[in-house]
Each structure stands twice: as C-alpha cells, then as structure tokens.
Amino acid sequence: MESRVNDFIRLLLENPCGLSVKQIYTRLGVTRQSVYRLREKAQALGVWVCTHEDDPEVPAGWMRLEAPKEVEVGFRLTQEEAEALKAAVARVESITPLARRALQRLGRGEFVRGQTEEPVFYTPLADEYPEGLFERVTRAIRERRVCEVTYKNARGQVRTYCFDPYVLIARDPHLYLVGANHNSRRAGHDPIKDLRLDQIQDLKLTRERFPKPAFDVRAYTQSRFRAFGGDGPPVCVRVRFSPAKAGFIRRTRRHPTQRVEECPDGSVVWQVEVPISEDLVHFIVGYGPHARVLEPEALRQRVVEWAQGAVGANLSPKGGTHRE
C-alpha cells in the first residue's frame, strides 16, 4: 500500500491542475474505492489532497494536491543512480531554476545502499501498532502537527480528540506518547496526558501546527514514570533478597536512591527512599520467598496482606488448589 500511496502522490504532482477520480484509478490500475483510501493514507502522512468539498475551485469528482510545489515525495536511489542522474543533468546547458534547486537538494541527500534496511529501533509491541503509526507519530512530533487521535483507555472506552504530540517516552516495555489533550485544555484541566502507543487505534495528522511547548520532558519523566512513584512521602525501604536472587538485584539500578549492601551469606539488602505504593508492593511480592521486608513495618504488612490475598484467591473453599 505504501508504494501505491507514493504512486498516487506522484501522479498528482505530475498533474498540478488535478485529475478526475476515474483518470486516477485508470492510470493506477486500482478500483474507485481504492482511490479514496489512498487519499486518506496521503492525508494521514500530511499530504493534503483537495476535492470539491475542500476547495470549490476543484471540479466535482476531481482531486488535486494543495500547494503541490511544497509537497515532498520520498523515494530511494542507489548512490550510482544518483550520481548518474546528476551527471546527465549537468550536460544540459539550459536548466530551469526549479530543476537546479531539485538537483541541489538531491546532492545534499543521503544515499541508501541496497533495497531494504534493518530497523535501528524495535520493540515487540510494534507488531501490535496500526500500520505506519510509529512513523506518523515521529513525524507529527518533529513537525509539531496537531493530530486527531482515536484512543482506547484502560476501561475499554474509545475516544477521539485533538492532541498536540510532544515526545515519546519508553517505559518497560511500552512507548508512551506525551502531549496536550485539547479537550482537557478547554475544560480547564491539566492538558498533559500520556497515551500508551499500543492503545492508539488511529492517528491522523492535521494541517494545524502548535507552537513549541514549554515542556520539560526530564522533569515529567521523573515525576510520572520514575519507578515506585507514589503520592505519599518517601520513606526508607530495606528489603533482604536471598543469594539466589541477589544477582538480579545487583545488576539493575531501579531508583536513583538505591543502595545495595552485601551480606556474608551471599544475600543482599536493597535500600531505597520511596513512597509506599502498589508498584513497590508488587515488586517485592513478585520475588516470593526470596524477599523479606526489613523496614518499614507498614510496608511489611502490605506485602503480607497482598501475598495472603493471592493465596486465598487461588485456594478452593475446601483448602485444596483449583484444578481446571
């Protein structure tokens, strides 16, 4: 579909006055419905294709690029092809200013060898993203484009709203798109929201751009995404981990205040200063019998209650385990 979109855009570039839908689907060898799907794909990429509804000067049943001279179409050439093209154009004595500018831009471009490239960034969750979502998000951030986002929240509710995308933040193992929600801004609430990328069902770039925000990504990450974040005051937390799990505790720094104390028997005492939170309780319970809370007592009680609840939920009323 991506190559079809490029062919669609290139066809309209070659015909700045526009073409009828019939001419487009005849030349591309696609169906009439496919032309409208290609238009939607182009719009999502930020290439604006006008119809009569958008611009009365466009004849009914026709399509035309908006400001076609400003549209850039991405394509790949080998270094040999690019050099051959430049050499051929250099032999032409009379060259228009537009062609000369295009040649200069080609000369500044980066040459790509081969037909395909391995991605420099990959997350297994990328397979769950809608096609082209990651590319559209990164483009929207760079160009500061207002987006129309359709998002499914943790409750399963689907909402569509306008969103100013600021930055992508990674946190195990998810990517979060952080920006300003227009609905929250209009309602007088804090507009800064983070959207988990795998829960975005659709994202379309609009023509509108937003000004550079006064947004401190480092401060936001520290307050919102720091491990063991919570609303209460930080307390000194000390947990002893068995020799079997000590290596896992040593090798990962989970918080800036973390200290690891070695014990003679090979176990370690892990110490941090954080609020008591559900994340902290889950982390400790996840190590089962290999983790013992030394302090504070309130955290030890929370861990015991959580562990007892897990045991109770997995035992039958008669005391035996469920077998399904």
Is pLDDT above 70 for 265? Answer: yes
232 located within any domain: yes
Backbone angles phi, psi at 194, to 5 degrees: -120, 130
119 located within any domain: no
**Run of H or E including 169:** strand 158-171
Pairing of strands 174-181, 192-196: antiparallel
Strand, coil or helix: what is 94?
A: coil
* Residue 155 sits in the same domain as residue 98: no
293 located within any domain: yes
Render pLDDT for 91-101 as a digit per residue (tens, 0 to 9).
666 666 666 66
Query: Residue 97's domain spans which residues?
Result: 79-108
Task: Report how far apart, in Å, the C-alpha atoms of 55 and of each of 24, 36, 41, 52, 126 are.
Answer: 19, 16, 19, 5, 37
Does the global pTM surpass 0.75? no
Count the neighbouring beta carbons within 10 Å of the beta carbon of residue 298: 11
Residue 272 β-bridge partners? 237
87 located within any domain: yes
DSSP state letters, 220-284:
HIIIIISTT--SS--EEEEEEE-HHHHHHHHH---STT-EEEE-TTS-EEEEEEE---HHHHHHH
320 located within any domain: no
Least confident of 103-112, 222-231, 277-286, 288-297: 103-112
CATH of the domain at 9: 1.10.10.10
Pairing of strands 200-209, 145-152: antiparallel
Average pLDDT, integer, range 257-273 = 95
* Residue 210 sits in the same domain as residue 285: no
Render pLDDT for 41-95 as a digit per residue (tens, 0 to 9).
888 777 888 898 878 888 999 999 876 545 555 556 676 777 777 777 666 666 6
* Residue 104 sits in the same domain as residue 137: no
For residue 115, name the pLDDT band (cuts at 50, 70, 90): very low
* Residue 132 sits in the same domain as residue 208: yes
* Residue 185 sits in the same domain as residue 268: no
250 located within any domain: yes
116 located within any domain: no
* Residue 179 sits in the same domain as residue 249: no
* Residue 95 sits in the same domain as residue 178: no
113 located within any domain: no
Is pLDDT above 60 for 201? Answer: yes
Question: Taking all residues of the chain, what is their mean pLDDT, rounded to a whole number?
Answer: 84
The total of structural domains in the chain comes to 4
* Residue 274 sits in the same domain as residue 304: yes
* Residue 6 sits in the same domain as residue 96: no
